[in-house]
A and B are shown apart, each in its own frame.
Chain A
Amino acid sequence: MSPDRSLGDVLRNFARKRDFYAGGLMVLFGLVAALKGPGYRVGTLMHMGPGFMPTALGVILILLGVAIAGTALGVPPDEDEDILPEQPQWLGWACILAGPLMFIIFGRFGLIPGTFACVFVSALGDRTATWTSSLVLAAVVTVFGVAVFSYLLQIPMPLLKWGWPL
């Protein structure tokens, strides 16, 4: 086996590891802070400017990210390194994330449409859910939500309002 091929194997294994991406993400966050920080005036240790903390924390985060990715090298391969869970729940995830989105979009028409759309869409994410069960749940939660938040707690959000969502 030629040495450069084994190096390629090492790198390929490395890129499959979860910690490689975990460290990478931290380096990314650190870079954003460390590059933005100096723009706010770093100052000196005695007279710190607003940019000191972001820059310092950014650098620390980059170092931690490198350390996390580095430890991935030491662990033997073929462990549980999958980033996605065994059974990815794309529909479930999409529906959960769509819930608040629906609340933002339909909330512009008032509390009732916002609540209904939010609960209905997110309820569809469950494997055993049906259209009917989701509709019923959405209706029940909407009634409850209006009673509690609009009448009891008096949240200043109109129940229903006509207009374009912009």
Chain B
Amino acid sequence: MIETALTDLWYGFQVAFQPHNLMWCFIGVLVGNMVGVLPGMGPLATISILLPLTFGIKPVGAILMLAGVMYGAQYGGAICSILLNLPCHPPHAVTCLDGFPMTKQGRGGVALGLTVFASFVGASWGITEMIFLSPLLVKAALQFGPTEICSLMLLGLLAGSTLARGSPVKGVAMTVLGLLFAIIGQDLETGSERLTFGLPELSDGIELVALALGLFGIAEFMNSVNQVVTINTKYTNVRLRDMRPSKAEFKQSIAPMFRGTIVGSLCSLIPGTGPTIASFIAYATEKKVSKTPEKFGTGLIEGVVCPEASTHSSVQGDFIPTMSLGIPGDAVMALLLGALMIQGIVPGPQLISEHPDIFWGLVASFWIGNILLVLLNVPLIGLWVKMLTIPYRYLYPSALFFVCIGVYAANNDMFQVGEVLVIGLLGYILLRLGFHPAPILLGFVLGSRFEENFRRAMLIARGDLTVFVTRPISAVFIFLCVLLIGTQIYFRLRSSGRALGPAPASAPAE
């Protein structure tokens, strides 16, 4: 098994080292790193803006670049948290707790240096996991019929919507809304138009790019306009030689790094628990095993490297269900899967055998990309720090232009710019009503495959719904769904029992 994995990986490196693929990977991580640092611009918005520009390039290059944006942004986000105390990116919110005090003590450079190293360790573990686990998952998933696929998708959708931020019921509502959005347009089997409200432009359905840019572009801009705090750049003067940790500091952070990595990889195996949750759990675990838990929050290096390692290990791990089962764990993965679908590639367990260049090329490019990021981050730290000071009043109008031209360029269709506008307004209203719009994307991307498989499963079972619990594998998935909902209700009841006390602290991810 190890031998085949190594041959496949070797093949992957050959794909990833092709000059144009290497170039896309480099552009991806560079852009990702940049927007990771920019306040108020997340990887979701960036990937959606870049998505239409990838239509012209080959699928391998496109996915390498978009994935690069995603993990590149993770490196950038850490800089923001450590030097500015700004949790601009949710997974790094917890890094502020110990990272910023370190900066105040003048050890920000060390924190950054060790973060880069910890990120690399975490990511490497995640990639290794992907190499060995994905083929196993695929082997199992290839036996699945429509019934099993359906219940697996149900599990993925439920996990993605209930374990993420905010109220679980609202999350599920957003997923259902996403499934409904996927229905708009022509029905695949009969060709009849559904929910188009007589608009011929909608007969091809809502464009993924328009949906993503509306929800994560325009709605986010509306949320942040005139809200971005002025940045304190007092501590941002970091030089290259400040980044080298002392031997003691290095030794001190080795064990937390590996603990964080393990926590992250465990979290990534549960669909729906993305890097944000992984980093919080890692920080809590580290505090628990520490001999000096009272010192956390005062600038302890363990409190920085552990969550960062776990974030990166979970980010890479999230690719496992996405690439091997075709079921994305969060909105970013859904977007990447959507990018593959636009390129005409059907996601699912057959992806690795049908398009080995995409899968193994991606795996190899992770390593190349992560090494590139280490190389980029060390000398360019000064440049990234300068980017932090770009005011939002220049950022959002420029980004808005990119949104418009990106959506227009997707199909050369002005109607879709209007689509973005409407979806953006809706997205902002949903945000204000306490919904988190990310699960909409999950539902939207899985929608048509879910409907197709559900129809097929029912046709085979002659309309008997009990088939979902009488077939053993499907029954396991359904059981997990019930378990998931059950624990959610249990926690809800328990917390409402003591709701008369202070309200539970909401996630600082807002």
A interface residues (Cβ-Cβ under 8 A, vs B): 18-19, 21-22, 25-26, 29, 32-33, 36, 40-41, 44-54, 57-58, 60-61, 64-65, 67-68, 71, 74-76, 79, 83-85, 87, 89, 92-93, 96-97, 99-101, 103-104, 107-108, 111, 114-115, 118-120, 122-123, 125-129, 133-134, 137-138, 141, 145, 149, 153, 155-157
Which of B183, B401, B417 has the most A CB atoms < 10 Å from its CB?
Answer: B401
Chain B, residues 94-134, CB within 8 Å of chain A (1/0): the string is 00000000000000000000000000000000000000000
Q: Which secondary structure dominates where chain A touches chain B?
A: helix
Contact B459 A40 (CB under 8 A): no
Compute how far the CA of A156 lies from the CA of B463 in the bound complex, rounded to whole angstroms: 49
A130: min CB distance to chain B, Å: 10
Tell me which residues across on chain B come within 8 A of A48, comparing CB atoms: 454-455, 458
Contacting pair A29 B177 (CB below 8 A): yes
Judge whether B78 is part of the interface by a CB distance below 8 angstroms: no
Which of chain A's residues has its CB closest to B492's CB?
A71
In the complex, are the beta carbons of A99 and B225 less than 8 A apart?
A: no
Contact A53 B225 (CB under 8 A): no
Q: Are A99 and B400 in touch, CB under 8 angstroms?
A: yes
Tell whether, in the assembled complex, residue B412 and residue A103 are in contact, meaning their CB atoms are under 8 Å apart.
no
Q: Is the CB of A97 within 8 A of B432?
A: no
Query: Complex formed: what's the CA distance from A36 to B183 in Å?
Result: 12
Q: Knowing A26-B177, A96-B222 touch, does A19 contact B194 (C-beta < 8 A)?
A: no
15 extra A-B contacts, CB within 8 A, seeds A64-B176, A157-B412: A19-B433, A25-B429, A25-B430, A47-B459, A53-B451, A57-B179, A60-B176, A93-B225, A97-B425, A99-B400, A100-B400, A103-B401, A104-B418, A107-B414, A119-B400
Whether B163 is near chain A, meaning CB under 8 Å from some CB there, is no
B393, A126: Cβ atoms under 8 Å?
yes
Distance of A20 from chain B, by nearest CB (Å): 10
Per-residue 0/1 for B378-410: is the Cβ within 8 Å of any A Cβ (1 yes, 0 no)? 000000000000011110111011011100110
Q: What is the chain B residue whose CB lies nearest that of A60?
A: B176
Say whether B53 faces chain A, with CB atoms less than 8 Å apart: yes
Interface residues of B in 448-507 (CB under 8 A from A): 451, 454-455, 458-459, 462-465, 496, 499-500, 503
14 A-B pairs (CB sep. < 8 Å):
A22-B434, A58-B180, A61-B177, A68-B167, A75-B499, A96-B218, A96-B225, A96-B396, A97-B218, A100-B400, A100-B403, A119-B398, A120-B397, A137-B397
Chain B interfacial residues counted at CB < 8 A: 66
* Cβ-defined contact, B180 with A44, below 8 A: no
Contacting residue for B173 out of A64, A108, A120, CB 8 A: A64
A54 touches B194 (CB 8 A): yes
Please pick, from B221, B393, B462, B500, the residue contacting A133 in the complex, using a CB distance under 8 A.
Answer: B393
Contacting pair A65 B173 (CB below 8 A): yes
Which residues of B lie under 8 Å from residue A50 when comparing CB positions? 187, 189-190, 192, 194
Q: Which of A25, A118, A133 contacts B400 (CB 8 A)?
A: A118
Contact B180 A100 (CB under 8 A): no
Smallest CB separation, A142 vs chain B (Å):
8
B424 within 8 A of partner (CB): yes
Question: For residues 137 through 169 of chain B, which have their beta carbon under 8 Å from a beta carbon of chain A?
Answer: 167, 169
Q: Is the CB of A141 within 8 A of B401?
A: yes
The distance from the CB of B459 to the nearest CB of chain A, in whole angstroms, is 6
Partner of A149, one of B177, B409, B418: B409
Determine how close the nearest CB of chain B comes to the CB of A109; give it in whole angstroms: 12
Q: Verify A104–B394 contact, CB threshold 8 A.
A: no
Known contacts A68-B170, A115-B401, A45 near B463 by CB under 8 Å: yes
Q: Which residues of B contact A133 (CB under 8 A)?
A: 393
Q: A29-B177, A115-B405 are in contact. Are A126 and B458 (CB under 8 A)?
A: no
Question: Does B49 make an interface contact (CB < 8 A)?
Answer: no
| Of the residues A32, A100, A126, contact of B420 by C-beta under 8 Å | A100
- B225 engages A89 (CB within 8 Å): yes
Chain B residues with CB under 8 Å of A134's CB are 397
Q: Which residues of chain A come closer than 8 Å to B391, judged between CB atoms?
A: 128
B231 in the interface (beta carbon within 8 A): no
- Cβ-closest chain A residue relative to B451: A53
How far is A76 from B501 in the complex, measured between Cα atoms in Å? 11
Q: Which residues of B contact A18 (CB under 8 A)?
A: 433-434
The 6 tightest CB contacts between A and B, nearest first, are A46-B463, A45-B463, A126-B393, A92-B225, A50-B187, A22-B433
Residues of A within 8 A of B180 (CB): 29, 33, 54, 57-58, 61
Q: How far is the CB of B40 from chain A (nearest CB, A)?
A: 12
Q: Are A96 and B408 in contact (CB under 8 A)?
A: no
* B60 at interface, CB cutoff 8 A: no
Residues of B within 8 A of A74 (CB): 496
A108 CA / B418 CA spacing, docked (Å): 14
In the complex, the answer to whether A141 meets B424 with C-beta atoms within 8 Å is no
Query: Is there a chain A Cβ closer than 8 Å to B195's Cβ?
Result: yes
Nearest B residue to A64 via CB reads B173
Tell me whether B352 is interfacial, beta carbon within 8 Å.
no
Looking at B405, B428, B435, B464, the one whose CB has the most chain A CB atoms below 10 A away is B405
- Bound Cα distance from A50 to B177, whole angstroms: 17
Q: Are B414 and A44 in contact (CB under 8 A)?
A: no
Q: Inside 8 A of B464's CB, which chain A residues have their CB?
A: 45
B172 to chain A, nearest CB (A): 6
Known: A29-B180, A68-B169. A100 touches B190 (CB 8 A): no
Docked pose: A128 CA to B391 CA in angstroms: 10
* B22 contacts the other chain (CB 8 A): no
Q: With A50-B187, A65-B173 known to touch, is A103 a contact of B222 (CB < 8 Å)?
A: no
B226 on the interface (CB 8 Å rule)?
A: yes
What chain B residues lie within 8 Å of A46 (beta carbons)? 458-459, 462-463
Closest CB in chain B relative to A67 CB, distance in Å: 5
